[in-house]
Structure 1
């Protein structure tokens, strides 16, 4: 099956339909680019230069760097849409296709690791205080990025530029025998992260109910919100890939594919909005207020404090019982 990143000649014969798709797609890319670069850029800057370095910060910085990179290269797609052809050459075509396809696996694996970390954080707080180190988090992040690269190289290998009606397009021609690759990619980068995330938060819920630990920990809530929104945006994209359809193409009449494209793109600018909403009650000047919002969204102490207080009360009650 032949595919292209945005090959308008394959959309259909109706100019109005084609123009509507191009305009809506360009608007979505432009808004996502603006919000994604600004929001994730602020998260990266504050995280590196202004905030205390914690394990949670390492996870969220990895997410922000991946989203920032995706949004940073969206102007290539916007330029492509505006001009109606690809002006950046063959190398940038391959590189851009690689960036588009490596972004989501990184986020999916990172969120799975974040869910496991939240689960261990809640269930074994004392162990985490002793053994949970930023150095190991950095190693895990590095492994996630390295593992995500090979599965996305195939798209880059089969990407090239071609001339159609005197206009150059960035084109992906995927062979028919890539079903196994699609299936493995779907299992590893969508199904497994989804199951890991689901099991982790079920475990957190059960532990909280049994141990009477509050479920409203901000750190757990933020991680859960980020995971749910990303999986809702990413799963349609992965399903189409598992069927051998590259959803960065707009096919005439395929509304579900169009929706999957928009969800896929928009997901890269949502996380900073979640962080801001999580720490919304802080009101000060912009810099200190934004930093405080991020610190509250990425906080780890609330889990430790909640569990420590519960354990202190348990010890106190036991001592009182022995005294009587």
Structure 2
């Protein structure tokens, strides 16, 4: 049995396992059966699995609508990639919860691959949400310059770059912290610490502040416009998604960052709760689309995917010169000089 320290404390599921060994030894420790704390942990696991299953169904439906029913726009491309990342995160969580309560043996390298994939898709979801709020903010406040200078396939290019960046970050941490690749690189080494700080810097000090301030700008705009903002359902969708993200996920990431340096925070209950909060975050977006899309919906008998179109509806906010109706122009011809 391996009793090594956790791989990456910035990865939520891995943080839970600090001092409780890797995935393959969880159920064999006899930690929770028959105790009050154990019943609490089991309850959290059951609730989390239920939430993950609901999230899988919801994100699966949204994914199918985006593939078959929804018109492809600059923002639906981001949403499509965000849904794909959330689906992968939820699958990982379900596997983790199953392994937590069952005596299945998991190979060490398989568990590390799972953790690396989790880091990859989780970071990608953060990056896509940041890209959505940033591009919407640019569209609202510099519409003319943005519309004329924006490349045609910018959304696809940005998504490819963000996937690549997330993959790079995950691989850097994975290679730096596991001695399988370089014997001088191990958990707790300088290289592992530097790689973890690199990941935290990108997530906590670059993407999260950009996401926060661009969404705050959109929120101020919605509040300022009052009733006129009711038609801007996409702005409301973005604001709610980011708000839920900061409630359920950002605080967990901050705790993970602190726990990397302070081992006293290493306890199974708070970090299992962090898994619960992460599960809620990854499962919540389909219900946000459903709520915002049906908000002030007039027609009841409509196709099921209409709520998603309404939730992703936005205006270009282009400042174009007023155009004269052709009929009015024919009735009132311009005087010739």
- Give the TM-score normalised by the residue count of structure 1: 0.75
* 2:93 alignment counterpart: 74
Deviations 1:68-108 (A, max 9, x none): 11112334223313323434x34432221112222331122
Count of aligned pairs: 290
Residue 131 to residue 293, structure 1, CA distance change in 2 (3 Å)? farther
Task: Work out the CA distance in 2 between the residues paired with 1:145 and 1:112.
Answer: 13
Structure 1 gaps, min length 5: 161-172, 314-324
* 1:284 alignment counterpart: 301
Matched, 1:117 2:135: yes
Residue 225 to residue 27, structure 1, CA distance change in 2 (3 Å)? same
Matched, 1:264 2:278: yes
Matches of residues 1-324 of structure 1 in structure 2 within 5 Å?
Answer: 2-3=5-6, 4=17, 7=26, 15-17=34-36, 19-87=38-106, 89-132=107-150, 135-153=153-171, 156=174, 174-177=187-190, 178-204=192-218, 214-216=228-230, 217-245=232-260, 251-252=266-267, 255-280=269-294, 281=297, 283-284=300-301, 288-289=303-304, 291-301=305-315, 303-304=316-317, 312=322
Deviations 1:223-271 (A, max 9, x none): 111112112222223223323539xxx954x654333222122211110
Residue 133 to residue 61, structure 1, CA distance change in 2 (3 Å)? farther
Task: Work out the CA distance in 2 between the residues paired with 1:210 and 1:232.
Answer: 24
**Contact 1:56–1:300 (CA under 8 A) maintained in structure 2:** no
**Contact 1:97–1:155 (CA under 8 A) maintained in structure 2:** no
Give how far 1:188 is off: 1.1
Give how far 1:56 is off: 0.8
Task: Work out the CA distance in 1 between the residues paired with 2:206 and 2:319.
Answer: 33
- Give the TM-score normalised by the residue count of structure 2: 0.73
Deviations 1:96-137 (A, max 9, x none): 111222233112221221111111111133444445456211
Give how far 1:292 is off: 0.6
Task: Work out the CA distance in 2 between the residues paired with 1:11 and 1:225.
Answer: 41
Moved over 6 A (4+): 206-213
Give how far 1:278 is off: 0.7
| Cα root mean square deviation, aligned | 3.5
Task: Work out the CA distance in 1 between the residues paired with 2:60 and 2:275.
Answer: 23
Residue 117 to residue 8, structure 1, CA distance change in 2 (3 Å)? same
Give how far 1:189 is off: 1.0
Task: Work out the CA distance in 2 between the residues paired with 1:210 and 1:144.
Answer: 32
- Larger fraction in strand: 1
Larger-gyration structure (1/2): 2
Task: Work out the CA distance in 2 between the residues paired with 1:190 and 1:152.
Answer: 15
